[in-house]
């Protein structure tokens, strides 16, 4: 558990408790269920200062996606933290965060794409053809006619086996439609996020870059 004490001081750690001592302005806290807590913006920036980039991006994306914080509030919280340890790291997270990432898997995918030096994609790209919407894809490189899709298991494991089979069929039809308008589709899963090299190679080939 991480707690913040509203006064500067040394960090205290135990097996179950990590106590941070720091100054807190009145507008950096709020009352939740009778307990004082740091605001979402302050919390996200504190996490971004102290946790690895991938985890911090997933938290920031989720907060933005849920409408719990606005980009401007995150940027303001980051500026207020500019003299604290980890402020540079927090700045990288805040600049990269994007509420259009719809899951932790998509957030981790974005970090993997960045880590491998791939071009920054358009998130939730709406692909249209023949005057109709063909589908909304996780990652798109419109100019290069390439689509990237993260496949989590949730949509395939909800409901019965028949439901899962129906989802697979719909996904197949959707991918066929994307390919029919000249798009190259590259898919990956949770397991691929642990070692993204093979996916990155497939994306480079599809994008026509070395």
Q: Band of the pLDDT at 13, cuts 50, 70, 90?
A: low
- In terms of DSSP H, where are the helices of 51-127? 53-65, 71-80, 87-96, 104-115
Quote the tokens at residue 176.
Answer: 């066929």
Domains identified in the chain and CATH numbers: 2-99 (no CATH), 120-207 (3.40.960.10)
Evaluate if residue 149 carries a pLDDT over 90: yes
Tell me the Ramachandran region of residue 172: left when phi exceeds 0, alpha when psi lies from -120 to 50, beta otherwise: alpha
Among residues of the chain, what percentage have pLDDT more than 90?
Answer: 70
The pTM of the full predicted model, rounded to 2 decimals, is 0.86
Q: pLDDT digits over 19-36, tens only?
A: 666 778 889 989 888 888
């Amino acid at each position: 558990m991480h707690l913040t004490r509203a006064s500067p001081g040394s960090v205290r750690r135990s097996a179950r408790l990590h106590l941070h001592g720091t100054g807190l302005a009145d507008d950096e806290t709020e009352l939740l269920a009778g307990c004082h807590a740091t605001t979402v913006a302050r919390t996200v920036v504190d996490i971004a200062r102290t946790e690895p980039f991938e985890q911090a991006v997933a938290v920031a994306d989720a907060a933005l996606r849920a409408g719990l914080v606005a980009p401007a509030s995150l940027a303001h919280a980051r500026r207020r933290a500019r003299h604290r340890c980890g402020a540079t790291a927090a700045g990288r997270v805040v600049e990269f965060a994007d509420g259009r990432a719809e899951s932790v898997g998509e957030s981790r995918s974005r970090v993997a794409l960045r880590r491998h030096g791939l071009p920054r994609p358009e998130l939730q790209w709406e692909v249209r053809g023949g005057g109709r919407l063909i589908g909304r894809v996780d990652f798109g490189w419109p100019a290069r006619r390439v689509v990237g899709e993260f496949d989590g298991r949730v949509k395939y494991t909800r409901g019965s086996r028949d439901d899962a089979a129906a989802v697979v069929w719909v996904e197949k039809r959707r991918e066929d439609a994307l390919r029919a308008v000249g798009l190259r589709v590259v898919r990956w899963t949770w397991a691929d996020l642990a070692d993204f090299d093979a996916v990155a190679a497939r994306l480079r080939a599809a994008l026509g870059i070395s």
